[in-house]
Chain A
Amino acid sequence: MTTTDSATPPPAVPGALPGSAGAASPNLALAAPVRRRRRSAPETPERGALSSADWRRPAVKHTWRGMHFVLLLLLLLWCLGPLLLLGKFAFTPTQDILTKPMAVFPNGPTLDNIDQAWNRYHIGQYFMNTVWFALGAWFCQILVATTGGFVLSVLRPRWAKVLNWLVLGTLFVPAVVLLIPLYKIIVHPPIGDSLINNFFAVWLPAGASAFNVVLVARFFDSLPREIFEAARVDGAGPFRLFWHIVLPMSKPIIGVVSVFAVIASWKDFLWPFLVLKDESVKPLSVYLQSMANVDKGTLMAALAISTLIPIVMFLIFQRMFLRGAGLGGAVKG
C-alpha cells in the first residue's frame, strides 16, 4: 500500500479499459511478440527524433553528446549517489557518520555496524519474514491472476462478462477506501479467528489485484486460439489445457507479474505495519521503522542489507523490470 511510486501498479488505476490508450497502446501487444519483434529489428530500425543524417552534423552531434554526458553525470549523482553513500555509511563508525558524513573513511572502515545489525538486531530473521511474506503473496497473486485470466480469456463462460466488469471496476477504487474495511475483515474474518499476526493477512489481500488479472487476461487473449482448438480436438480438458498449454506459453507475463509481486511485498509498509505487529512475523520494512532511533551506524547497515536483495534482483532481471514498468504505463492507459 505504498502510495507515491508510479512504477509499481498503484491500486487505483483509472481507465485500464481497452482502447483508451492512444500513444502507449502498441506496448500492449508487447506480451507475446517481444521476441519476434526483436528478431525482425534489423529490417526496421527504431529511430528517435534524430536521424542518422542529423547525427553526422557536428553541431547536433556535439550538442547531444554533451547533453547525454551531463545526463549521465546527473543520473550517477542523483540516483546512484545516495545509495553509494548508504553503502559507505554501512562500513563507517557511527562517530564518523555523525561528524564527517561526506569524508571517505576518515578513521578507516569497520564491520561493527554489519555485525550489530545482523547479530544484535537480528536483521536476518526479519529478512526471512519478508521472504516468506513475498513468497505467499507471489503465489496468491499468480494463482488468482492465471486462473482468473484463464476463465475470462480462454474458457469464457456466459458470466465472464459480468466478472470482467466487476474486476475492472475495482481499478477505479483507490486503496484508501479499502484500508479500514480490510482491517475489519482481518480482525473479524468471516470464518475463524482474527488474522492479525498471521501471514494470510498479507497474502490473501495481495491476490485481489485487478491489475494482474488484466495483464494476464490480455496476454492470454494474444495467444493463438488454434492451439487451444487443436488441444481440445486431441482430447485435452480445461485442466490440461491450462497446465500443459496455456501456462507454459505464458512464461513472459508470469515473469512480469512475479517481479511486480515480489517487489511490491518487499516495498509494502502500511498494511503489514497494521496487521503484522508481532516480532515473530514483522517484515523488514516494518522492523526498520521501529529501528529508526538506534545507533546510526547500525541503522545504516540494516538499511543497506535491506536494499541489497531488491537491487541485486533488479540487476539480474533488469530487462523484465523495465519491460514491466513500461508495460505498467501502457496498461494504465
Chain B
Amino acid sequence: MSTIANTIFSPELAARFDHLVTIYPVKRSALIPMLLYAQDEIGYVSEAAIQEIAARLDLFDLEVRSVLSYYSMLRTKPAGKYNVQVCTNISCMLRGGYEILDHCKAKLGIGHKQVTADGVFSLEEVECIGACCWAPAMQVNYDFHEDLTTVKVDEILAQYRSGAKETI
C-alpha cells in the first residue's frame, strides 16, 4: 500500500517511492531519482507526476518544476519508444559522430528532439555520454552502443524496430 492514496504510478513504483523517501537524511533528496523513475514508467514527466511527487516530498509543484527544468535528461513531453541519443562531442566528433547523427536523421526522417510519426523512435544530439574511448557512440534509452558505423547503426535500429532487442 502506497502512502499516497490514488497514486498515478504502478504499485511497484509507488512502493519504490515509499522506500526512496526514507533512505536519505532529508526526504527531498529523493526528488531526482523519483523524476527519473516516473519518466521511465510514463515516458515523460507529466503534470500528474509532478503533483504526486511534490505531495510525496512536501514540496510545492513549482519546486519540482524548477529542478525538472534544470536536468537535460528529464522531459515534459513524450519521446519515442526508443530515444536515440547520438554524441557529437569532441572524441565522438573526431571519429565520425556527426556522420552518425546525419545518418540517423536521414534514416529516421526526423531532426533533433523530434519523434517519428509512428512514435517508435525519437532522436537527440547529446553532449558527451562517457564513451569517448569507444567513439563514435550513442545511447538508445539507457543502452550504450559503441564503435559505431552507419552500417552498425542500421542494424541496431532494425533490432529495436523489430522488437528483437529490448532496452534496460
> Is B one of A's binding partners?
no
- B residues neighboring A (CB under 8 Å): none
